Amino acid sequence: MTSSISKNWPAPAKLNLFLHITGQRDNGYHDLQTLFQFIDYCDYLDFQTNLSGKITLHSELSKVVADKDNLILQAAKSLQNHAGITQGADIWLEKLLPMGGGLGGGSSDAATTLVALNKLWNIHYHNNVLAEIGLKLGADVPVFIHGLASFAEGLGEQLKPVSPAEKWYLVLVPDAHVSTQAIFQSPNLTRDTPKLSLAHLMNQDWSNDCEKLVVAHYPQVANALSWLVEYAPSRMTGTGACVFGEFEQEQQALAVLAKLPSNMTGFVAKGMNRSPLLARLTQA
């Protein structure tokens, strides 16, 4: 016996409006300060619960990511095990976010899976519990579960909701897959940016400590950034490869997108301090 399909659960991208690496722990993990904001550009997931207990993902992604490494399957099974339930689910993924781009697509997919199945399996966990489960899958998962633009500290798991301006962004997607692990292991990564108060950070020019290193090693990222910065304040998100320029009006961003060289790809999106996942949850 199966349920009807619950459709169009969004998994939005995020931008790191700034990213500072403030230190490295003895275990190799890095302390950081960053500002997460969502954009209205999303993957979409559909869910159909079943009584067999089996979890199946229907996606082209399965051709490039092994099931054991797939965060959607890991999230569903983690929730299933944590709650001790016998229900399963079929999951369909419409993948629109680029992989390895610094937009948090995999983490967002995992978060949407946890939020949706928590609802559809009638588990009723608080978001804090879902965030604990999600943190084991990735440091960015909790911010997608809570669904609010946030200032993050620690490893990225200490979250404080904030409300930066919801600007329009032109996001460029260089043809490069940047390894987050390689960036954080590099001896040339800036690791000593001073910790600053949130008030101070919100009133200074924003930057990304990973950008210089990535630009030096990935000419595609360097080219995209040097082109975009001619039109708007621009920087990289996360550990790359995507870069974004800020605009006050949608039309300004679309006008620059129209000038994009044929060897580059990009899209225009609106900054959102409240994730579209929260709106979908209330509809459910």
The residues assigned a catalytic role are 14, 140
CA distance 208 to 205: 11
CA distance 267 to 265: 7
In the beta sheet, which residues pair with residue 35? 18, 151
Which helix (H) or strand (E) covers residue 136, if one does?
A: none
Which helix (H) or strand (E) covers residue 202, if one does?
A: helix 198-202
Question: How far apart, in Å, do the first and last CA atoms of the chain sit?
Answer: 21
Q: How far is CA 107 from the centre of its chain?
A: 6
Q: Find, among 176, 178, 168, the residue nearest to 244 by Cα.
A: 168
Determine whether 9 is exposed, middle or buried from the number of CB atoms within 10 Å of its CB (0-12, 13-18, 19+): buried
Residue 264 dihedral angles phi and psi, to the nearest 5°: -125, 150
Beta strands at 55-58 and 30-50: parallel, antiparallel or unpaired? unpaired
CB 178 within 8 A of CB 102: yes
